[in-house]
Structure 1
Amino acid sequence: MKKINKIVPHLLVLIGFVLVSIIYFYPVLQGNKIFQSDIVQYTGMAKEQNDFRTESNEEPYWTNSAFGGMPTYQLGAKYPNDAIGALDDILRFLPRPADYLFLYFLGFYVLLMVLKVDPLKAFFGALAFGLSTYLIIILGVGHNAKAHAIAYMPMVVAGVLLVFQRRYIIGGLLTMVAAALEINANHFQMTYYLLFLLMIMAIYYVVIAIKNKEYVALGKTVGVFAAAGILAIGANATNLLATAEYTDFSIRGKSELTFKPDGSKNTTNSAMEHEYITEYSYGIAESFNLIAPRLFGGGNSETLAEDSALYSFLLNYGATPAEALQTVEYYGKTYWGDQPIVAAPAYIGAIVFFLAVLGLFHDKLKIKYVFLAGAILSLLLSWGKNFDGLTRFFVDFVPFYDKFRAVSSIQVVLELCLPVLAIMGLQSFFSNDKDKQWTSLWKATATSLGLIVALFLAKGLFNFSAPIDQQLMQMFGESQDKSFGISFINALKEDRMNFYTSDLMRSGLFMLAVAVILWLYIQNKLAQTTAVILVGFFMVADLFMVDKRYVYNNPDQFKSAREVDMPFEPTEVDNLILKDTSNYRVYEIQGRMQARTSYFHKSVGGYSAVRPRRFDQLFDYNVEKNINELGSSIDFQTLSFTKSNPVLDMLNVKYVIVPTGQGDVPITNPFANGNAWFVSKIKVVKSADEEIKALNSLDVTNEAVVDTFEDNGKYFKGGFISSKDSTASIQLKLHKPNHLIYSSENSKYGFAVFSENYYENGWKATIDGNETKIHRVNYVLRGLQIPAGKHTIEFKFEPQVVKTGSTIALISSIGMLLLIGVGVYLVRKKRFKIDD
C-alpha cells in the first residue's frame, strides 16, 4: 500500500501533463494540425524521398529535388536498428505539437525529482519550464528538432547529477537512455550547448572529489559516464557517422575558396563567416526581455490596436478608423532590438526570476552555483557580436563552436537553469525556520523589484529607434506632408515606450503578488499547500498570457490536416513546367532559398541550414552576382533565353521561374546540356579558386574543368582522355533518387560529364558491371572515363556509413537492454535486502 501511495502523486502529475499539453494545443482534438513555417519547408524538401519510400518501401538516402542533389541525412532519413527512435516514438504519443510540450514537462519533472523537490512544486516548475516563451515559439514556427533536443536536456542533467551523487546504477542508466534520446533528437547545436552546462557541473564535482581525495569514487564516476556515453553514442551511430561524413560537404565545412563572391580576400578560418555565425546576437540590454517580455517591443510580428498612440495619430491626421487600423497593423513595427528577426521575446517569467533570486539567497545546496554559472555563461555567449571578444575566443579556440550559427539560441541553457533555481528556491523556502524565510524574502523582493525600478529609471537612456524606422521614414516622407513620416515614427516610438513601461509594471506586480503570498505564509495566514498552489498558478498564468500572444494571435496557426500535410498548391507556372516529363531542373530566381519549388520539381534551390557548400557557392559566385546579366538574356516574347549560361546549362536547368509585373513566368533554357554528355576537351586546374573562375567562360558542352586536387585530399596522378565522334551520345534510361542507369555510345575512348552532384561517399559507378572511378568535374558534377563502344553505366547510392552505423547501433542497443536488465535486477535485489 505504501508503494502505491508513493506512485499515485507521480501518476497524477503525468496525467496533469497530458491534460495541460492537450488543452494548451486544443485544436488538435478537432483533427487540426499546427501550421509551422519551417515544417512546411521541410515538407517541400522531403517530398521526393517520402514519395519514394512509400512507393518502393525503400529508403533512398539521397534526394534529387533540392540543391541539385544531396544526402537526406538531415532530412528525416530513417535508419535500420533505430531502437532509440522507437522509444522516442513511445514517449511522444500525443499529437503534435502537444507531444513536445509533454516532453518538456516530463524531462524537467525528472530533473526536479532528482533534486528532491516534492511533486506539487515540481509539477508547477515543469509547467513553468515548458511554457517559457522561447520554448513555445519554436513549436509555433516548426523548430521541432530543436524543441525535441531541449526537451531531453533536463533528463540528461538529472542522470549526470545522480551519478555524481554516487547513485551509479540508476544514474548511469538514466544518463545512458537520456543521452541516447538527446542525440537521437538530431539537433546537435542544442546538444552541444548542453555540454557547456555539463562541463561546469563536472568541474564542480571533480574539484570536490579531488579536494576530499575521493579518487576511487571519481574513478567509478568516470567509468559509469564512459559506459553510458559509449552506448548512447553507439545507439545513434548511423546518424552521427552520416552527419560527420556530410558536414564537410555542407556549408558547415570550411570553404576551399580564398576569395569572396565580390572578389575580396577570404580571411576567416572558421567553417562559416563570423558575421553569419553572429547574425542573431542578443542585445545586452535586450536580455532584460527575460523578465519583461516587451521591453524591446516584443517580436517582429507584434501588432498594435485601437488603443495605440499610432492609431490615435492616424485618426487625428484624417484617416478613417478602418484605414488607421490597417496601417497600424501593417506598419506598426514595435520591435527595436538588435536581432534581424525575432518571433517573440525569450521571456522566462517574472515569477521564475523572482524565485530564482530567492533560491540564491535561501537555498543551502551549493549545486545552485553550477546552475547560476551555466545561466551566466549562456547569457554572455548569447550576446554574440555585442560581446565580440568572448565570442571570437569561442569561435577561434573552442572546438566545433564555429559550426553553429544563431548564437542567441544558447540562451536555452539559461532557460533551463533559472527555472531550476526558481523551484529550488521555492522548495527550500518552505523547509527553513520563519526568521530565515523572512530575511531571504525581503532580500529577494528588494533585489527583484529594485531591478524593475532601475529599468524604469533607465528609460531615458534609450531612444526606442529601430533599423526599420529609416525605411518607414523614407516611405512616408514621399507624401505631400513631409512632416508625416517624422510624426508617424514619433507615435510609433511612443507605443514602444508604453510597452516598455507597462510590461515593467506587469512584471513588478507579479513579483509583488508572490512576495505577498509568501509573506502571508510566514504570518501563518496561508497553509503551505495553498501558498504553493497560488504561487504556481500565478507563475503559469504569467507565462500563458504572454505565450498566447504569439501562438494564438494568428487565426491560421492551426489548419486542417490536409493543408498541413500538403501545404503547397501548384501554380499555373508549375503546371506548365510539369507537362514536360523529361528529367531536368528548375531555378526559381526569387525563391532559391525555399522548398516550394522542390515540392513539385527537381530544384537547384531548397531550404536547409546544411545545404551543399560547393553548390551554394556556384550560385553566389557565378549566377546570382550576375543576375542582371541573366535577366537581359531573356526574350519575353518567346519566353526563352537568347544566350547560354554555363552554370545553368551544365546543371540541366531547363526552366527558370522569373517574376514579372504580371506574375511569374517560366523561361525555357534551350541551351541546357541534358542529363549527360561527352566532352572533347579537359581543362586541368590546381585549385578550387581556378576551377570556379573557369566556369564563367567555359564551353560546358564541349569542355570540362577538373581540379586535380580532388575531395579525397590526394592529387589525381593519371591523365584524362577526352575524345568523341560526331554521333557520340549518352541516354538516361532509369532515374531514381538512389539509382541511375545510362546507355552510352562512342567510337572513341571518351570522358563524360553527368549533370548530377558529386558526393565522394556512397555513390558507386559501374560500366558494364565493372566499378570505375567517379571524378569531380565542373566544381560540383560527376565525370567518368568511358571506353569506346556501347556501354551500360550505372550509379548507385549505397552509403557504407549507413551499413556500418546500423551494425554499431544494433550492438549498442542490445548492450543497453542488457545493462538495463542487470541494473533493474540489482536495484530490486538491494531493495529486498533493505526490506528484510
Structure 2
Amino acid sequence: MKNINRIYPHLLAIIGFIAVSLIYFYPVLQGKKIYQSDIVQYTGMAKEQNDFRKLTGEEPYWTNSAFGGMPTYQMGANYPHNYIKQLDSAIRFLPRPADYMFVYFLGFYILLCTLKMNPLKAFFGALAFGLSTYLVIILGVGHNAKAHAIAYMPMVVAGVLLVFRREYIIGGLLTMLAAALEINANHFQMTYYLLLLLLVIYIYYPVHVIKSKEYKHLGISAAVFAVAGLLALGANATNLMATSEYANASIRGKSELTTNPDGSKNTTDSSMEYDYITEYSYGKAESFNLIAPRLFGGGNGEDLGKDSHMYEYVLGLGAEPVQAEQFVQSMPTYWGEQPIVEAPAYIGAIIFFLAILCLVIDNRKLKYAFLAGAVVSLLLSWGKNFPVLTDFFIYNIPFYDKFRAVSSIQVILELCMPVLAFMGLQAFFKTEKAQQWKALWISAAIAMGTIVFLFLIKGQFSFSGLNDARYDEMFGKMPGFIDALIQQRKDMYSADLMRSGIFILLAAAGLWLYIKGKISNTIAVVVVGLLIVSDLFFIDRNYVNKENFKSASQVDAPFDPTPADEYILRDTTNYRVYSFQGRLQGRTSYFHKAVGGYSAVRPRRFEQLFNYIVEPGISNIVGSIDQQSMAFSRRVPVLDMLNVKYVLLPANEEGEVPVANPFANGPAWFVSSVKAVDNADGVLQSLKQINSRVVAVINKTQFADAVKKTTFAADSTATIKLVSEKPNYLKYSTNNTNEGLAVFSEMYYADGWNAFIDGKPAPHFRADYVLRAMNVPAGKHSIEFKFEPQVVQTGSRIALFSFIGMLLLLAGGIYLETRKHSPLAPKGEVKYPE
C-alpha cells in the first residue's frame, strides 16, 4: 500500500502530461495530422525509399530520387536489431506531434524528481519546459528529429546527477537508457550541445569530489559512465557508423577543392563555410526575446489582428475591414539579425523571475552548473555577433564546425533556466519567512528592473529590419508602409514588455500571499504554475494551433502533380529532372528522379558540381532560353552526363514549364578517351569544356591504377543498356567488339556499392567528379551494381550484442535494487554536492 501511495502522484502526473499534450494538439483526436513544412519536404525525398519498403519489405539504404543518388542513412532508414528504436516508439505512443510534447514533459519531470522536488512542482516545471515557445515551434515546422533529441536531454542529465549522488545502479541504468534514446533520436547537433552541458556538470562535480578527496567515488562514477556510454553507443552502432562513414562525403565533410565558386582561394579548413555556420546568429539585444516574446517583432509572419496599428493603417488606405483583417494575418514584423525567424524563443517571464530567485535564495552550488550552462549557451548563440567565443569553438573544438544555425544552441539555456526556476521555487518554500520576503523582493526588483530598463532604452533602437528594403519593394504601392511597419514593431515592443511585467508581478504576488499566510504552500505552487502555463500557452497558440492541421490524406500525400509533372511522367525511359528554381526542395523527388532534394547532409561533390558549374552557367541564360529546344545545354554540358532529360523552368503564369534535353547521355555510355588531371579542381575545370559523351575525366592522384589506357577503339555498334533497376540494384547489358571504358550516370559512392561483371566482382572508380566508371572487356557482358553496405551488417551485430548487454544490466540492476544488496550501495548517511 505504501508503494502504491508513492507511485500514485507520479501516475497522475503522467496522465496529466498525456491530457495536456492531447488538449494542445486536439485536432489529432479528429483524425487530422499536423502539416509540417520540413516533413512535407522529407516526404518528397523519402517517397522512393518508402514505396520500395512497402512493396518488397526490404530496406534499400539508397535512393535514386534525390541528388542523383545518395544513402538513406539520414532519411529514416530502418536497421536490423535497432531495439532502442522500438523502445522509443513505445514511449512515444501518442499521435504526432503530441508524442514529442509528452516526452518533453516526461523527461523534464524525471529530472526535477531527481532534484528531489515533489510531484506537484515537478509537474508544473515539466509543463514550463515543454511549452517553451521554441520547443513548440519546431514541432509546428517539422524539426521532428531536433524535438526528439531535445525531449530526451533532461533524462540524460537526470541519470548523470544520480550517478554523482552515488546512486550508481539507478543512475547508471537511467543514463544508459536515456543516452541510447537520445542518440537514437538522430539529431547529432542537439546531442553535441547536450554533451557541452554535461561537460559543465562534469567539471562541477569532480572539483567538489577532488576537494573532498573521494577519489573512489570519482573512479566508480567514471566507470559507470563508461559502461553506460559504450552500451548506449553500441545499441545505436549501425546508425552512428553509417552516418560517420557518409559524413565525409556530405557537405559536412571537408572539401578537396582549393578554390571557391567565384574563383577566389578557399582558405577555410572547417567542414562548412563560416558564413554558412553562423548565418543564423542571435543578436545580443535580441536575446531579451527570452523574457518578452515579441520584443524584436516576433516572427516573419505575425497575425496582428484588428487591434493593431497595421490594421488601422490599411483601413486608412481605403481597404474594407475584411480586406484589412486578411492583410494583417501574416506581417513581417521581425526585425532582428537573423534572416528568417518563425517565432521568438520565449522561455517565460516568470521562469526568468524564478531563476533569479534561485540565484538569490538557493544554497545548493549545483545552481552554478546550470547557470554556467545557460550563460555559455547564450554566448554561443550569438554566433558571428560574438566572434571571440564562436571563432574559438569553430576552429578549435572538435566537430563544432559540422553544425550550422548556431542560434539553436539556446536549447541548452531553455533546459537550464526552468531547472533554475523550479530549484528557486523549491528553495523558497524551504526557507525561513524573513529570508523568503527578502529574497522575493530582491528577485522581483531585479526582474522588474530589467523590464523597466528595456522600456527606457527603447529609443536607442531603430526598429528597422534586414529585409525592410525588400518589403518596401514588395509593398511599394502602399505609401508609408515601412513607417507603419516600424510603428507596429514599436507597439509590440512596449506591449510585450508590459505583458511580461504583469506576469512577473502576479507570480510575485502569489508568493507574497503565501508569506503572509493567506494561501497554502500547495495553492501558491498551483497559482504560480498556472500563471507560467498560461503565459506560455497563449504565446505558443499564436504560432502553432489548429490551423496547422490538415486532413490525413493531405499530409500523407502533400504534392499534386502539375501539368509539367504529368507531361514528364509520360516518358517511361530512364532519366533525371532538374528544377531550376526548386533544386533544394523535395517536391521534384516525389514524382521524379531528381538532381535536387531537401537535406542538410546532401552529397558534397554533387552540391559543388551545381554551385561551381551548373547554376552559374544556367542563371546567365535562363531568361533567353528557347523553350522548344535545349540548345542551352551546350552551355551547361554537365546536365547531359547526369542524364537530365527534362529541366523545369519558371513560367510567369503556368508555374513551371518542362523543357526536354535531347542531348542527355542516358543511363550509361562508352567513351573513347580519358583525360587524367592532378586534382579535384582540375576535374571540375575540365568538365566545363569536354564532351562527356566521348571523354571521361579522372583524378589520377586517386585513381591512377584504375585506368590502364587513355584511348579506346571506337565501335559505332557498341551498346550498353540498363535492363533492370531498383534503388539498391542496377543491371546493364553490354555489347562491344573492343575493350571499353563505361561511364554510368550514377553517383559514385565507394562505401557500399559493389560491381560485378558476369557475376564476378569487378572494380569501379570515380569519373567526371561524381559518376561511376569501369573497364569492360570486349564482348557481351552483364554488369551489376549492388548496394551492400558492410557498415550496416557490422553495426547491426554490435547493436544486437549491446542491447543484450543492456538487458542483462537492467535485470541485474533491478534485482540488486530490489534486494538492496548492491556492493556499490553507500553505507550509512552519505553527503553529496548539491
Which TM-score tier does this pair reach, normalised by the shorter chain?
Answer: over 0.9
Work out the CA distance in 2 between the residues paired with 1:323 and 1:218.
Answer: 67
Against the structure 1 CA distance between its residues 614 and 179, is the aligned structure 2 distance closer, same or farther, given a 3 Å change threshold?
Answer: same
Contact 1:63 1:69 in 2 (8 A): yes
Q: SS of 2:734's equivalent? A: strand
Indicate the residue corresponding to 2:365 in structure 1.
Answer: 366
Q: What value does the CA root-mean-square deviation take over the aligned residues?
A: 1.7
Residue 543 of structure 2: SS of its match in structure 1? helix
Per-residue CA shift, 1:699-730, capped at 9, x if unaligned? Answer: 1110000012338xx97685556333111110
Q: 1:378-436, CA deviations, whole angstroms, 9 ceiling, x for partnerless residues?
A: 00000001101211110000000000000000000000000000111111111111011
Which residue of the partner structure matches residue 416 of structure 2? 417
Report what 1:565 is aligned to.
556
Q: How does 1:507-522 map to 2 (within 5 A)?
A: 507-522=500-515
User: C-alpha separation between the residues in 2 aligned to 1:368 and 1:268?
Assistant: 39
Alpha-carbon shift at residue 74 of structure 1 (Å):
0.2
CA distance, structure 2, for counterparts of residue 83 and residue 665 of structure 1: 47
1:337 aligns with 336
| Cα offsets for 1:187-213 (capped at 9, x unmatched) | 000000001110011111111111111
Contact 1:758/1:780 (8 A) holds in 2: yes
The residue that corresponds to 1:696 in the other structure is: 688
Q: How does 1:738-753 map to 2 (within 5 A)?
A: 738-753=728-743
User: Partner of 1:8 in structure 2?
Assistant: 8
Instruction: For 2:619 and 2:363, locate their aligned partners in 1 and report how far apart those are by CA, in whole Å.
Output: 67
CA–CA separation in structure 2 for the residues paired with 1:745 and 1:639: 30
State whether structure 2 residue 119 is matched by structure 1 residue 128.
no
Alignment partners' CA distance in 2, 1:310 and 1:110: 45
Give 1:640 shift.
7.3
- The amino acid of 2:385's aligned partner reads N
Return the offset for 1:248.
Answer: 0.6
Q: Are the counterparts in 2 of residues 280 and 406 from structure 1 also a CA contact under 8 Å?
A: yes
Partner of 1:787: 777
Letter in 2 for 1:827: E
Q: Deviations over 1:709-764 (max 9, x none)?
A: 338xx976855563331111101010100000000111111100000000010000
- What's the counterpart of residue 824 of structure 1? 814
Give the equivalent residue in structure 2 for 1:352.
351
State the Cα deviation string for residues 218-251 of structure 1 (Å, max 9, x = none): 1111110000000000000000000000001000
Q: Of 751, 755, 767, which residue of structure 2 is paired with 1:765?
A: 755
Matches within 5 A, 1:329-728: 329=329, 332-477=331-476, 479=477, 485=479, 487-552=480-545, 555=547, 557-631=548-622, 634-637=625-628, 643=634, 645-663=636-654, 664-710=656-702, 719-720=709-710, 722-728=712-718
In 2: Cα distance, 1:215 partner to 1:327 partner: 66
Structure 1 position 373, deviation (Å)? 0.1
Any idea what SS the aligned residue of 1:368 has? Answer: helix
Aligned-pair distance for 1:326? 4.3
Q: Percent identical across equivalent pairs?
A: 64
| 1:803 alignment partner, one of 784, 793, 799 | 793
Residue deviations 1:760-810, cap 9 Å, x none? 100000111121111100000000001111100000000000000000000
The 1:751–1:280 alpha-carbon spacing in structure 2 relative to 1, beyond 3 Å, is: same
Q: What amino acid is aligned across from residue 593 of structure 2 in structure 1?
A: K
Change over 3 Å in CA distance of 1:231–1:265 after alignment to 2: same
- Supply the distance in 1 between the matched residues of 2:765 and 2:356 (Cα, whole angstroms): 62
Task: Give the match for residue 829 of structure 2.
Answer: none
Q: Which amino acid aligns with 2:471?
A: L
In structure 2, how many angstroms separate the alpha carbons of the residues matched to 1:749 and 1:78?
41
Relative to 1, partners in 2 of residues 1:740 and 1:644: Cα closer, same or farther, differing over 3 Å?
farther
User: In 2, Cα distance between the equivalents of 1:826 and 1:325?
Assistant: 65
The answer on whether the counterparts of 1:721 and 1:751 sit within 8 Å (CA) in structure 2 is no
Find the counterpart in structure 2 of residue 55 from structure 1. Answer: 55
- Secondary structure of the 1:755 match is strand
User: Contact 1:748–1:789 at 8 Å: present in 2 too?
Assistant: yes
Separation in 1 of the partners of 2:789 and 2:711?
Answer: 29
Indicate conservation of the 8 Å contact 2:617/2:635, yes or no: no
**What secondary structure sits across from 1:655 in the alignment?**
strand
Give the Å deviation of 1:568: 0.7
- In structure 2, the partner of 1:155 is 155
> 1:765 & 1:804 partners in 2: Cα distance?
20
Seen in structure 2, the aligned counterparts of structure 1 residues 35 and 474 have a Cα distance that, compared at 3 Å, is: closer
* Unpaired stretches in structure 1, ≥5 consecutive residues: none
Query: Contact 1:588–1:597 at 8 Å: present in 2 too?
Result: yes
Whether the 8 Å contact between 2:613 and 2:636 is mirrored in structure 1 is no
Letter matched to residue 483 of structure 2? N
Does the 8 Å CA contact 1:193/1:413 hold for their aligned counterparts? Answer: yes
Shift of 1:363: 1.0
- Residue 186 of structure 2 corresponds to which residue in structure 1? 186
Count residues with an aligned counterpart.
Answer: 824
**Residue by residue, what CA displacement relative to the aligned partner does 1:543-600 show, whole Å, maximum 9, x if unpaired?**
0000000002x73x10111111111111111111111111110001110010000000
Q: Distance between the aligned counterparts of 1:444 and 1:450, measured in 2?
A: 10
Per the normalisation by structure 1, the TM-score is 0.96
What CA distance in whole angstroms lies between the structure 2 residues aligned with 1:197 and 1:721?
A: 59
Q: Any idea what the Cα deviations from partners look like across 1:146-196, whole Å, max 9, x if unmatched?
A: 000000000000000011111111111000000000000000000000011
TM-score (norm 2): 0.97
Unaligned runs of 5+ in 2: 826-834
- The secondary structure found in structure 1 opposite 2:820 is helix
CA contact (8 A) 1:709 1:715 kept: no
TM-superposed deviation, 1:630:
4.9
Deviation at 1:832, TM superposition (A): 11
The 5-angstrom pairing of residues 265-284 of structure 1 reads 265-284=265-284
Shift of 1:262: 1.2
Distance 1:6 1:33 in 2: 37
SS in 2 for 1:662: coil
Identify if the C-alpha distance between structure 1 residues 771 and 727 changes in structure 2 by more than 3 Å, giving closer, same or farther.
same
Distance apart, 1:451 and its partner CA: 0.4
Q: Which residue type is aligned with residue 548 of structure 1?
A: R
Separation of aligned partners in 1, 2:642 and 2:658: 17
* Contact 2:339–2:466 (CA under 8 A) maintained in structure 1: no
Distance 2:227 2:711 in 1: 54
Q: Which amino acid aligns with 2:688?
A: N
Listed one character per residue, the Cα deviations across residues 499-531 of structure 1 (whole Å, up to 9, x for unaligned) are 000100100010000111101100100011111
Residue 365 of structure 1: how far off its partner (Å)? 1.0
Aligned mates of 1:122, 1:456 — CA distance in 2? 34
CA distance in 2 between counterparts of 1:667 and 1:832 reads: 73
Contact 1:640 1:668 in 2 (8 A): no
Matches of 2:646 and 2:707 in 1, distance apart? 38
Measure the CA separation in 2 of the matches of 1:632 and 1:468.
26
One-letter identity of the residue aligned with 1:762: G
CA spacing shift, 1:580–1:474, aligned 2, 3 Å: closer
